[in-house]
Chains A and B, each alone.
Chain A
Amino acid sequence: MAVFMAQNKDLYDAILSGDAKKAHATTEAALAAGVEPMTLIQESMVPAMDEVGRLFECEEYFVPELLLAGRAMKSAMELLKPRLSAAGQRMAVRVVIGTVKGDLHDIGKNIVASMLEGSGFEVIDLGTDVSPERFVSAVDERKPQVVCMSALLTVTMPAMKLTIDALRTAGLRTQVKVLIGGAPVTMQYAREIGADGYSENASGAVGLVKNMLAGEAA
């Protein structure tokens, strides 16, 4: 029990300090010792990323720390994913994320994806320059509960509305919550285009997803 708790703490610390090598090694050791992948996710990774989010909110951490933590979390997740699928397990909530058509910026989107993954969500990252049609296909085929769209440019923001319209035309709009974000995006714009939510940063996006789904479940 003491060894198990120490391993959990080591993984938690590795993610918090953004040490990818240590996160990988600790996860490997925990799995070898028989710790269940879901236990590592729920007892080390999710709390670590929650703490990363809290530190970001209080300006102790900044975007570089978020990315380093996300990278450490990913290096642990790479070891867990094959075991989770072999056991027929999957995360409870699935999120499709992408930067909208015409926009090649992916830093903000990557941070949100990392934070969501680290918070226990299954994330399907469609990449950048994602057309409305690709978002629609992904929603149709992968059945996510949430779609997150990012745009860094004022010129590409209209693609967010086009994507929401395309989801509506395809009859899929009511099946998903749509969240948007990016430097020029505002809450007002989210309302104007019929999105369900807006967040100005990655940590806020994770909280928003959690709140929305909790509200739906209630």
Chain B
Amino acid sequence: MPIGADLVLHEEPDTESVRNHGDALGRVIERTAARWKTPLAIPLMDLRLEKTDLLARIGVTRKDAEAFHFTSPLDETTFAALSGGDACPACPGSLARDRALAYIAAIPGLLPIGMAIGPFSLVTRLMADPITAAAMAGRGVSADDSDEVRLLLQCLQIAEAAVARSIRGQAAHGARAIMICEPAANTSFLSPRQLRAGSSIFERLVMEPNLRLNSILEECGCDLIFHDCGELIDAMVEGFAHRLHPVILSLGSSRKLWEDARLVPADVVLYGNLPTKSFYSDGAMPVEEVTRRAQELLAKMKACRHPHILGSECDVLFVPEAREAILKKVDAMMAVTDRPVPRGQAEG
């Protein structure tokens, strides 16, 4: 659970130096798995790394990378520089992530898990207005007719190459499964109205690149864990579950996992999905409500007999003043797994 590594990281006096130091970060991930009694060594969720590494190729500094957006189609030289297959340069965070995987891989009983942003979600971080471009493409506007669509398709190519470099690097450092996170592959970015009308936009922008990445994972001997905490329609869930066929499918709190079980093959474990984005607020999400929801989810997943791991819907970025509030809810959520489900909750 990404939320766990983030919380444990912030127990360190110098968070930034640990984040950028492989062995120290590895120890954080090891402690996280031990604290919440899981063999899954889920790393820190830092979905900025691939963008930082990608933009370093054209001289954008780490400091400027997050706010950087392309606003017009890329020229040939820039496109070539961003598309290259070589793994360097890598930012300190990426080097630490890879080194932490090697650290975890040496510990018996822990499964080293890597993490990368998905190509479409990376595209949405590379462009100032990805939704309009995707909507235009979804309407059939071609790259020849629109600079925005041209940029969108160029960004998709460089994003896929960047993610491919990242997962190859993580596999080489010992990852046995990699979590690909596509939170932007959702109904805010891709219109269900267009999909209902027969648009292939979800296929072109999300499924095709991820299917190619899945082949790379297979070549590397890595399992796919697929994460998407966005608002989804059933067809998206089915596409991820059946065609990507991850070992674990992690979904956001907008989904009812016990209902999604019918959309997912029996050998795909569902993961999640308590609303961790609200954990900072005792008003919006009191600890008793966390316990109630965790019990309900466990009971309903047990009733539908689909394999399930209780966890968070997503990362929650560190909020200093809310640390205790978040931590007590994570503890409450995980404590539920230690107790039998109360009688009667498995129904309904």
Given A18-B135, A64-B135, A188-B283, decide whether A155 and B318 contact each other with a Cβ distance below 8 A.
Answer: yes
Q: Check if B322 sits within 8 Å of A154, measured CB to CB.
A: yes
B319 proximity list for chain A (CB < 8 A): 154-155, 157-158
Is A4 engaged at the interface, CB distance under 8 Å to the other chain? no
Contact flags A2-18 to B (C-beta < 8 A → 1, else 0): 00000000000000001
A192 CB-CB contact with B under 8 Å? yes
B33-41, B189-197, B236-244, B335-343: which one contacts chain A? Answer: B189-197
Give a binary string over A177-188; 1 marks a CB under 8 Å from any B CB, 0 the rest. 000000110101
Q: Which of A1-41 contact B (CB under 8 A)?
A: 18
* A79 in contact (CB, < 8 A): no
Count how many chain A residues have C-beta atoms less than 8 Å from C-beta atoms of the other chain.
26
Say whether A104 contacts B66, CB under 8 Å: yes
Q: How far is the CA of A64 from the CA of B194 in the complex (A)?
A: 9
Q: Is A153 on the interface with B (CB-CB < 8 A)? A: yes
Q: Which of A42-99 contact B (CB under 8 A)?
A: 60-65, 67-68, 71
Quote the shortest CB–CB distance from B22 to chain A (angstroms). 25
A154 touching B280, Cβ below 8 Å: yes
Q: Tell me, rounded to whole Å, the shortest Cβ–Cβ distance linking A178 to chain B.
A: 19
Q: How many A-B pairs with Cβ below 8 Å?
A: 72
For chain B, the count of residues having a C-beta within 8 Å of the partner chain is 30
Q: Do A62 and B193 have beta carbons less than 8 Å apart?
A: yes
On chain A, the residues within 8 Å of B17 by CB distance are none
Contact between B281 and A64, CB atoms less than 8 A apart = no
At the interface, yes or no: B76 with Cβ under 8 Å from chain A? no
Kindly state the separation between the CA atoms of A126 and B303 in the bound complex, as whole angstroms. 51
Given known pairs A104-B66, A153-B317, the reply for A189 and B188 (CB within 8 Å) is: no
Among B134, B278, B283, which residue has its beta carbon within 8 angstroms of that of A192?
Answer: B283
Within the complex, which residue of B136, B277, B281, B317 is in contact with A188, where a contact is CB–CB below 8 Å? B281
B171-189 CB mask vs A (1 if < 8 Å, else 0) is 0000000000000000111
B131 within 8 A of A: yes
Known A104-B67, A153-B317: A61·B280 in contact at CB below 8 Å: no
| Chain A residues, Cβ within 8 Å of B135 | 18, 64-65, 67-68
Which residue of chain B has the shortest Cβ distance to A104 in the bound complex?
Answer: B67
Does B117 sit at the interface, judged by CB under 8 A? no
CB distance from B50 to the nearest CB of A (A): 17
Q: Does A170 contact B (CB under 8 A)?
A: no
Q: Chain B nearest CB: distance from A116 CB in Å? A: 18
Q: Would you call A154 and B316 a contact (CB within 8 A)? A: yes
Decide: A63 near B317, CB < 8 A? Known: A184-B278, A188-B284. Answer: no
Contact of A63 among B188, B281, B284 (CB under 8 A): B188
Q: List 9 A-B contacts (CB under 8 A).
A: A18-B135, A61-B193, A64-B134, A64-B138, A64-B190, A65-B135, A154-B277, A155-B317, A155-B319
Given A61-B193, A154-B277, A183-B277, list of 4 further CB < 8 A pairs?
A: A64-B189, A154-B280, A155-B318, A189-B283
